[in-house]
Chain A
Amino acid sequence: MEKVADGSPGRAYAVRAEGLIKRYGEKRALDGFDLAVRRGTVHGLLGPNGAGKTTAVRILSTLSRLDGGRAVVAGVDVAADPRGARRRIGLAGQYAAVDEQLTGRQNLEMFGRLFHLGGRRARLRAGELLERFELTAAADQGADGYSGGMRRRLDLAASMILAPEVLFLDEPTTGLDPRGRGEVWDAVRDMVAGGTSVLLTTQYLDEADRLASRITVIDRGRAIADDTPAALKDTVGGDRIEVVVTHAAELPRAREAVDRVCRGAPATDTAERRVHAPVADRVAALTEVARVLQDEGVQAEDISLRRPSLDDVFLRLTGHGADGDGTDGGGGGAQAVHTGKEIAK
């Protein structure tokens, strides 16, 4: 990383954290955690449950005090000047809520006053944000009647009142249906286009893949990987070709064909009538395998190239799946991820 003075106006990083330590009794929730978020980007923070994601966000957003290390957010040392940091950050998601007994407009006006804009500017800003987050029609309804997606957008609007340089988004789409997820994603892209830097924690790896240009994986209070999503996937292994045959009986012949073309040993998955193998040249391999299969008269139901997913990366790095898996009542979450993918395509 290049050395950039943290306080300079042209600083390259929105968030710099070095050697963060946070103890809860004997346990070290953060144990020398490092993080660098480039300005104007979305940076994903991924990790299993209890890895320290939430602790990190709480410290960087001044909600918790740190026990060691140094964190500079938007050019301000959060331990030395929490009040200064609070003028330059926004916090939305799991750990910041709106007042459900107020209307959307009343919420934004109240938060605007509490950000010390005064009554008139708070009112104007509320109207502006309601429009921008497409909440104008529901502005004067109670937030308790909002859909999940509307409530999160109101939450985002409240965190954007001072147009902060840095926005912390803590699991912004957890529990939302695919439509709500799409709405929140659009809003986040919108904010980044406006120059805000975002630190995003999420339990949906496809969300990080979609939004983040760089990802830090945290486990046991430390950063165990930090790279672009593409580079992280490369560490798991390159592309693979997958052939699904129509009849299970043809699996051995398909395997032969794939073996002849590809560089590595193919693996067979009988239950799914599938053969897959690593490839070097994606397009050449695809053409070649298709040709050989046709020559051999093997009926293929599907031939595809597959990039490793972030799930593969996650599994490799932490030894277990992302924290949404199987911990919160079964298939609901996984289903939402899947449909989320379909919609966003």
Chain B
Amino acid sequence: MSTGSRTTTALDGGHARVDGDHAPSGGPHARVDLTVDAADENRARWAVVDTWTLVRRELTHYRRQPVMILWQLGFPIISVLLYGYVFSGAMKPPGGESGGYRDFLMAGMFVMTMSFGFMNTAAAVVAGASKGVIDRFRSMPMEPAAVVAGRGVADLLVACAELAILAATALAMGWRSGGGLTATVGAFGLLLLLRFSLIWVGVWLGLLVPSPEAAGGLYAVAFPLTMISSIFVPTGSMPGWLGTVASWNPISSTGTAARELFGNPVARDGSWIQDHALLMAVVWPLAITAVFLPLAARRFRQLGR
């Protein structure tokens, strides 16, 4: 047999020593102590540590591939410029309220950016699943929930960066928040809450679609879902039934709530759902989370079928 070793480099024969175990340890070349914590009561702490490790991984991706973040952050900026300058001339300031179309539009652009974010989540999840990185994580003694939690925290951090850049662009274009500091912070909080709820949609879809290529097709779904809402144009300008659908679109509630808090024009259509936008901007994301978080968790567990 040819199993005979022709090694020249020696190796560390030391095996992982687990607390309470009597495995051999510390071969002649094991310079690093490989004893690891095996106590089950520390699981919550390790869940946090593992999540942070994976958040750092995601942020390192951005650091190593600046083009990726330029794309991701460039898209909303270009959208704001396109909608804000190309369409604004043709758009009447809605509802006769004070302020031009650009004042109406900006909150909508914030919402659009948050909504499209679920595709980034889905794309990252499907890439990890198809390349086997998620399988490697699952074969390791780490906390499995951290795989998803790390993704979510990283996505929220990126969402904060996106909002900051968008807000800077909007300010440069003359947009102002007329609300106080609390109201303005509250509006951004609602935007992040929407993004948070869509993380679970993204994780679920990412584990559902078979390949990264298929994840690209999500745009075909995301685009109309974003358009049929009040984020670009007042729902009053649409045919009656479509306007109703658009008003009940969860992202419309976040858009209207943000407009109210920013003190921007709202374009009232007199619907119940719009009159309760602040409430619904909290209820919708919680409802989405309540549905999709368990779905995503179930899908994740099914990887072990």
Contact = CB atoms under 8 A, between A and B. Distances in A.
Interface stretch (A45-53, A85-93, A256-264, A265-273): A85-93
Contact of B34 (A117, A186, A212): A117
26 contacts: A24-B305, A62-B139, A63-B139, A87-B18, A87-B141, A96-B132, A96-B136, A97-B133, A99-B57, A101-B64, A101-B65, A111-B136, A114-B53, A114-B54, A114-B142, A115-B142, A121-B32, A128-B31, A132-B12, A165-B16, A165-B23, A189-B3, A190-B9, A190-B11, A192-B5, A228-B1
Q: Is the interface of B mostly helix, strand, loop or mixed?
A: loop
B57 A116 contact: no
A61 interface: yes
B7 interface: yes
Interface residues of A, number: 63
Contact of A164 (B2, B13, B16): B16
A255 B117 CA distance: 76
Contacts of B303: 63
B14 interface: yes
A12 interface: no
Nearest to B42: A116
A121 B33 contact: yes
A124 B56 CA distance: 19
A64 interface: yes
Interface string A183-206: 000100111111100000000000
Contacts of B12: 128, 132, 163, 194
B131 to A, nearest CB: 5
B222 interface: no
B32 A128 contact: yes
A194 B11 CA distance: 6
B11 A191 contact: yes
Contact of A63 (B6, B18, B64, B135): B135
Interface string B276-305: 000000000000000000000000000111
Contacts of B11: 132, 190-191, 193-194
A279 to B, nearest CB: 22
B36 interface: yes
A330 interface: no
Interface string B88-131: 00000000000000000000000000000000000000000001
B50 A114 contact: yes
Contacts of B32: 117, 121, 124-125, 128
